[in-house]
Amino acid sequence: MVDDVGRSSTRLSQAADALTDADVLAPSGLTQWTRGHVLAHVAHSADAYVRLLRSARTDHRAAGPAADAAALTRAVEEGAALPAAELAGQVRSSLERFAQEARSMSTQAWDGMVTAMAGWRHPAWYTLRRCLRELETHHVDLNADYRTADWPTAYVAWALEETLAALKARSFPLASVHATDLGRAWDMGGDGTAISAPGHVLLGWLSGRSTTHGLVSDDPPTALPIPPAWPQPPFPGWGRDR
């Protein structure tokens, strides 16, 4: 997965390098965020993941979630106003630091527990999944010709599996989900409708990155449930720190 993160980092960095100063000030796919906000968020999130890995290596916890979240918000606002070249450089440098830190982790360190900003805990190895999800999702948010259909199949497979497990645990009202291109189906145990679509369409809808277009269901699109904020902590997960 370190290699998967590396390939995803390269794709996003190349997209960032192609943006002009005017481009980074243009709207992204996220409400009230410019492309500059998206890139700044990715850069500073990667730095946060570096701190988590170092925490696992030294058996010390990272700074408290509240302080980290506030600092990230400030850093994103400041970074969003930077010139395109400087911002792209920050993205590349942050992702390179994360890759270097990940490649220096021992097997024992990967099993060390760290705490997400939201307070839930996970092994350090799960930081790789979080980083990959961040990269692939925000590359789409960048609104620069990268779509859910461009997501790697392996990423879609595990992210969809994890998302549906979390939604089922929260009684999300679906009866079943079928990823037509992955050959996978999930019994959601609910009284709602059954839906089917290619995996990237399903994940795009559940993550708020695309509409109901492409979903096949017995119910009209307007009758489908609204997915909750994404991502949810993994289920069953590893508990909370507070």
Kindly state whether residues 41 and 115 are assigned to the same domain: yes
User: What's the mean pLDDT when you consider all of the chain?
Assistant: 93
More confident residue, 222 or 100: 100
Among the candidates 146, 171, 187, a domain finishes at 146
The angle formed by the CA atoms of residues 85, 2 and 203, to the nearest 5 degrees, is: 80
Residue 238 main-chain phi, psi, to 5 deg: -125, 15
Kindly state whether residues 124 and 167 are assigned to the same domain: no
Q: What is the pLDDT of residue 105?
A: 96
Q: Is the pLDDT of residue 64 over 90?
A: no
Kindly state whether residues 130 and 200 are assigned to the same domain: no
Inside any domain, residue 64 = yes
Taking Cα atoms as reference points, which of 237, 239, 103, 223 lies closest to residue 175?
Answer: 223
- Mean pLDDT confidence for 27-50: 96
Kindly state whether residues 91 and 34 are assigned to the same domain: yes
List C-alpha distances in Å: 77 to 12, 36, 168, 180, 191: 20, 9, 35, 40, 43
Q: Is the pLDDT of residue 66 over 60?
A: no
- Mean pLDDT confidence for 23-51: 96
What range defines the domain where residue 201 resides?
153-223
Kindly state whether residues 129 and 199 are assigned to the same domain: no
- Mean pLDDT confidence for 133-141: 98
In the chain the first and final C-alpha atoms are separated, in Å, by 29
- Mean pLDDT confidence for 70-95: 94
Distance CA 16, CA 47 (A): 17
Q: What is the pLDDT of residue 4?
A: 97
Q: Is the pLDDT of residue 142 over 70?
A: yes
What would the pLDDT profile of 144-166 be if each residue is shown by its tens digit? 999 999 999 999 999 999 999 99
Question: What are the start-end ranges of the E strands in the chain?
Answer: 113-115, 121-123, 174-179, 184-187, 193-197, 216-217
Those residues whose C-beta lies under 8 Å from the C-beta of residue 14, and which sit 6 or more positions away, are: none
Q: What is the pLDDT of residue 63?
A: 44
- Mean pLDDT confidence for 224-234: 94
Q: What is the pLDDT of residue 61?
A: 54
Inside any domain, residue 71 = yes
Q: What is the pLDDT of residue 118?
A: 86
Instruction: Output DSSP code: residue 221.
Output: G
Kindly state whether residues 103 and 194 are assigned to the same domain: no
Q: What is the CATH number of the domain that holds 218?
A: 3.30.1050.20
Q: Is the pLDDT of residue 60 over 80?
A: no
Kindly state whether residues 37 and 84 are assigned to the same domain: yes
Two structure tokens written together for 183? 């050959």
Kindly state whether residues 126 and 26 are assigned to the same domain: yes
Kindly state whether residues 113 and 158 are assigned to the same domain: no
88 CB-contact burial (10 Å; exposed 0-12 / middle 13-18 / buried 19+): buried
Rounded percentage of the chain residues whose pLDDT exceeds 70: 96
Question: Side chain identity at 114, as an amino acid letter?
Answer: V
Two structure tokens written together for 33? 């965020």
Two structure tokens written together for 225? 């449930």
Kindly state whether residues 177 and 133 are assigned to the same domain: no
Number of domains within the chain: 2
